[in-house]
């Protein structure tokens, strides 16, 4: 399997910044740049069937481009887009309708809804499907006698988490070191992390000013530690995960044990079902000879904002 370093790094960053969005390499959507809010547009006509092309031009083109090629952090909606494989799986029309109905336009999802023929959600999806993907919607196959979409799949909505201002890490430098070393059985070098402060006699990160190099340092530390643990054949975490220490072949089991053992300790709570599902999406990145998924799981747990 050929995986270049950059997408891996981005994947790990995405996981840390917003676990709702694991699984694709969409750079930057979770960073400071929010998608541009479109100017107010004329609402789609009510009553008769909606004109998908007109809705697209009015509500969607501002972000996804007139030809659906995307712009900035707004993904392409064309077949060649890798994004289509994640949320919407654009090749499956019901999923596309469902996604658009529930999630688009981004930030104002109620501006275009509906899963029935003639509704905004259905018709704008039909427009994308036919114009950008060159497919034909087989209405008889996907809708019932009322024109309602028969199959209403659950489609994961986009990540819209907003975090208030806070320090980037909760733990002081020596705490990061002590925690990771005791859990992982490797030596952890915390050089480059923001300096600790002494406040009312306590050593703390509160009030610390975190700059880009610090963010980078946390990220690099998470990568380094993950590689060290992997190079040590997961021996240092045998108490947390017997399957990891036993070697390859039990990838999924190993990851589950990592999430239950290490994840729960680092996050100081159990991982949510959604977080677990997101991590599970990493598993296919590993093949028989590699355990990239485990390394990424480790590094993103360590780099997660909640640790």
Binding site for ligand HEC (CB under 6 A): 21, 29, 35-38, 59-60, 62-64, 73-75, 77, 83-84, 86-88, 90, 96, 99-100, 104-107, 112, 124, 158-159
Task: Output 99 or 218, the one with its CB closest to ligand HEC.
Answer: 99
Cβ 222 to ligand HEC, closest distance in Å? Answer: 23
Give the DSSP H or E segment for 200: none
C-alpha 245: how far from chain center: 28
The span from the CA of 131 to the CA of 62, in Å, is 17
Cβ 137 to ligand HEC, closest distance in Å? Answer: 14
Task: Output 115 or 223, the one with its CB closest to ligand HEC.
Answer: 115
Task: Count CB neighbours of 74 within 10 A.
Answer: 19
Task: Output 54 or 242, the one with its CB closest to ligand HEC.
Answer: 54
Task: Output 62 or 243, the one with its CB closest to ligand HEC.
Answer: 62
Cβ 243 to ligand HEC, closest distance in Å? Answer: 32
The span from the CA of 230 to the CA of 193, in Å, is 22
Transcribe 89-157 into DSSP letters: -TTSHHHHHHHHHHH-STT-GGGS---BTTSHHHHHHHHIIIIIS-----HHHHB-TTSBBS-----PP
Cβ 298 to ligand HEC, closest distance in Å? Answer: 25
Asked if 179 and 171 count as a contact pair (C-beta separation under 8 A), the reply is yes
Tell me 8's DSSP state: H
SS3 52: helix
Cβ 210 to ligand HEC, closest distance in Å? Answer: 25
Long-range contacts of 103-108 (CB under 8 A, 24+ apart): 103/155, 103/157, 103/158, 104/59, 104/60, 105/38, 105/59, 105/60, 105/63, 106/35, 106/63, 106/74, 106/158, 107/35, 107/37, 107/160
Cβ 7 to ligand HEC, closest distance in Å? Answer: 16
Cβ 305 to ligand HEC, closest distance in Å? Answer: 17
Task: Output 82 or 139, the one with its CB closest to ligand HEC.
Answer: 82
Task: Output 60 or 259, the one with its CB closest to ligand HEC.
Answer: 60
Cβ 63 to ligand HEC, closest distance in Å? Answer: 3
C-alpha 274: how far from chain center: 11
């Amino acid at each position: 399997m050929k995986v270049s370093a950059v997408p891996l790094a981005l994947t790990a960053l995405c996981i840390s910044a917003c676990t709702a969005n694991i699984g694709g390499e969409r750079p930057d959507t979770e960073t400071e740049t929010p998608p541009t809010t479109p100017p107010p547009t004329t609402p789609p006509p009510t009553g008769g069937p909606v004109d998908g092309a007109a809705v697209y031009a009015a509500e969607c083109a501002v972000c996804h481009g007139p030809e659906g090629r995307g712009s900035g952090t707004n993904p392409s909606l064309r077949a060649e887009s890798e994004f289509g494989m994640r949320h919407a799986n654009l090749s499956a029309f019901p999923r596309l309708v469902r996604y658009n109905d529930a999630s688009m336009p981004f930030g104002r999802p109620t501006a275009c809804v509906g899963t029935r023929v003639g509704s905004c959600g259905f018709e704008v999806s039909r427009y994308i499907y036919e114009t950008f993907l060159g497919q034909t919607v087989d209405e008889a196959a996907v809708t019932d006698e009322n024109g309602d979409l028969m199959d209403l799949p659950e489609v994961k909505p986009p990540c819209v988490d907003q975090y208030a201002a806070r320090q980037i890490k909760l733990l002081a430098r020596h705490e990061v070191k002590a925690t990771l070393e005791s859990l992982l059985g490797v030596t952890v070098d915390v050089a480059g992390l923001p300096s600790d402060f002494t406040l009312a006699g306590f050593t703390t990160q509160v009030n610390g000013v975190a700059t880009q190099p610090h963010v980078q340092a946390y990220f690099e530390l998470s990568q380094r530690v993950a590689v060290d643990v992997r190079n040590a054949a997961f021996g240092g975490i045998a108490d947390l995960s017997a399957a990891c220490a036993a070697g390859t072949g039990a990838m999924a089991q190993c990851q589950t044990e990592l999430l239950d053992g290490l994840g729960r300790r680092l996050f100081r709570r159990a991982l949510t079902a959604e977080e677990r599902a997101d991590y599970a999406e990493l598993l296919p990145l590993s093949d028989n000879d590699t355990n990239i998924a485990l390394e990424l799981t480790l590094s993103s747990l360590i780099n997660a904002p909640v640790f």
